[in-house]
Amino acid sequence: MLEGLLSKEECAHCRLCCSFDSYGLWDTPVITPGMKEKVLRAKPGQRFVSRGDTLLLRMEREEQEDLYYCPLLDRSRGCIMGDGKPFDCRIWPFRVMNFLGRRVITLSPLCPAVAEKPVEQIRKKCGEIAPAVFKEAREHPEYVRAYEEGFPIFAADTEEE
C-alpha cells in the first residue's frame, strides 16, 4: 500500500515494526475474525488474546529482554502473511486514531525509514491512501486507536465517527 514511500528493501532491512517492547504492545496488529482464519491457515496453533471485542496475536517475550517479536515474523524471510497482512501492518507507519471524536491518519514517530523522507512525500502518500484507509476503518471501528501524543496528524476523515 505504501509503494513509492517505503521500498520492500527498506522494510526487509529493518522490521522494527514487527517487534515490540512492553510499552508498545498496544500497537500490535488488530486481528479480526476473518484475519484470524487466515493466520491459522498460515500458522496452525497460533494463539490469540482478547482486547475488548477484538483479538491480538499472543506474543512471547524474548529471554532476558523486554522485547516481543510478532509470531508471524520469519526472521529470515519476513512476514509469513505475505500480501495478506493485518490492516495495521499494511498501513504502517500510518495509524488510524480517534482525535476528538474524528478518525485521523497519524504517523508513527518510530519508523526510521520514513523519518528520513521529505514531509511532502509523506503527505502525498497519505493523501493517496486516505480514502481506502478511512473506508476500511469505517467498516472496522476496532482498527481505530485512541490518539497518542507525539503522532502527527496527516489527514482527517470527512465523516464523523
**Distance in angstroms (rounded) separating the CA atoms of residues 8 and 2:** 10
56 belongs to the binding site for ligand SF4 (CB under 6 A): no
Of 16, 89, 113, 153, which one interacts with ligand SF4 (CB under 6 A)? 89
State the cell numbers at 58.
499472543
Residue 92: exposed, middle, or buried by beta-carbon count in 10 A (0-12, 13-18, 19+)? buried
Query: Please, how many CA atoms are within 13 Å of residue 73, restricted to the half-sphere of its CB?
Result: 20
Output the smallest distance, CB 155 to ligand SF4, in A.
Answer: 22
Question: Are 115 and 68 contacting, i.e. CB atoms less than 8 angstroms apart?
Answer: no
Smallest distance from ligand SF4 to CB 149, Å: 23
Q: How many CA atoms, within 13 angstroms, populate the side-chain half-sphere of residue 40?
A: 10
55 residue type, one letter = L
Total residues in contact with ligand SF4, by rule CB under 6 A: 10
If the CB atoms of residues 5 and 157 are measured against ligand SF4, the closer one turns out to be 5
- Interface residue with ligand SF4, options 16, 25, 73, 129 (CB under 6 A): 73
Position among 2, 5, 29, 155 found at the interface with ligand SF4 (CB under 6 A)? 29
Burial (CB count <10 Å: 0-12, 13-18, 19+), residue 103:
buried
Kindly state the DSSP code that residue 27 receives in the 8-state scheme.
G
Q: Among 6, 59, 79, 111, which residue interacts with ligand SF4 (rule: CB under 6 A)?
A: 79
Binding positions for ligand SF4, 4-23, rule CB under 6 A: 18
Among the residue ranges 73-81, 122-130, 134-142, 145-153, the one whose residues contact ligand SF4 (CB under 6 A): 73-81
Binding stretches for ligand SF4 (CB under 6 A): 18, 29, 70, 72-73, 79, 81, 85-86, 89
